[in-house]
Structure 1
Amino acid sequence: MAIREIEESDWLRLGRIGTGRDAILFSSPFCGTCKVAERMLEIADAAGVPVTLYKMNINFSPKLRDAWKISSVPCLVLLRNGEPVRFEYTMRSVDHLYKLLAEI
């Protein structure tokens, strides 16, 4: 499954609380590091992580950015039952991301 691009309003409308494990990559379209992080997540996803992956433009996500205190991009927010359990700002390697996604 590919990384799904989602808008903040759509995410808030989903009501994901109590429905499993998700991860949202907050990024900016002009961020080169964000593009690398997205590619690494695509590879981890192709390897079969048991998580639904989303990506969201930080510039159009003020509610989540402020509520979760996201300080920079790329930021991978790992969620369990709709609640953030980890914020990962350093995308070290595909293996590292795969392990993070497999553990949540």
Structure 2
Amino acid sequence: MKRVNSREILINKIETDATLWVFLYAPMCGTCEIARSFITMVEKVKEIEFVCEMDLNLAKDQAREWEIESVPCLVEFSHGEIQQKLYAFESVSTVFEFINHQKLVKKGDQ
């Protein structure tokens, strides 16, 4: 995952990237660490880093605007609009199935 430490950079990426996956977390959240490990495993299977991660505390205004209910949360943006959100990180399979509808380009195929 690519860590983003600036709300402005994240907003810019959301507005300019055709599809962007954003993992929102809280630093002291144990469930967020488990979710992060699931996402990392999916990225390894897909052979591409496609998720940006950001501490929700750095984007509180956006969290309200995006109606983020809790962390961890994986959000898919397409052309600046929210397409779907995942809150229940039950397993690696759950995360894989959640993102699997989106075709991702492998490293070297770009």
TM band (smaller chain)? 0.7 to 0.9
Distance 1:21 1:98 in 2: 16
The structure with the larger Rg is 2
SS in 2 for 1:16: helix
The count of aligned residue pairs is 101
Partner of 2:7: 8
Q: Which moved more, 1:35-44 or 1:45-54?
A: 45-54
Q: Which moved more, 1:29-38 or 1:93-102?
A: 93-102
**Unpaired runs of at least 5, structure 1:** none
Distance 1:22 1:52 in 2: 7
Distance 1:49 1:16 in 2: 25
Distance 1:58 1:91 in 2: 17
CA positional deviation for 1:55: 0.7
Partner of 2:71: 73
Amino acid at match of 1:96: T
Preserved contact between residue 2 and residue 49 of structure 2 (Cα < 8 Å): no
**Unpaired runs of at least 5, structure 2:** 103-110
The normalised TM-score by structure 1 is 0.86
The normalised TM-score by structure 2 is 0.81
CA positional deviation for 1:59: 0.8
Partner of 1:46: 44
SS in 2 for 1:72: coil
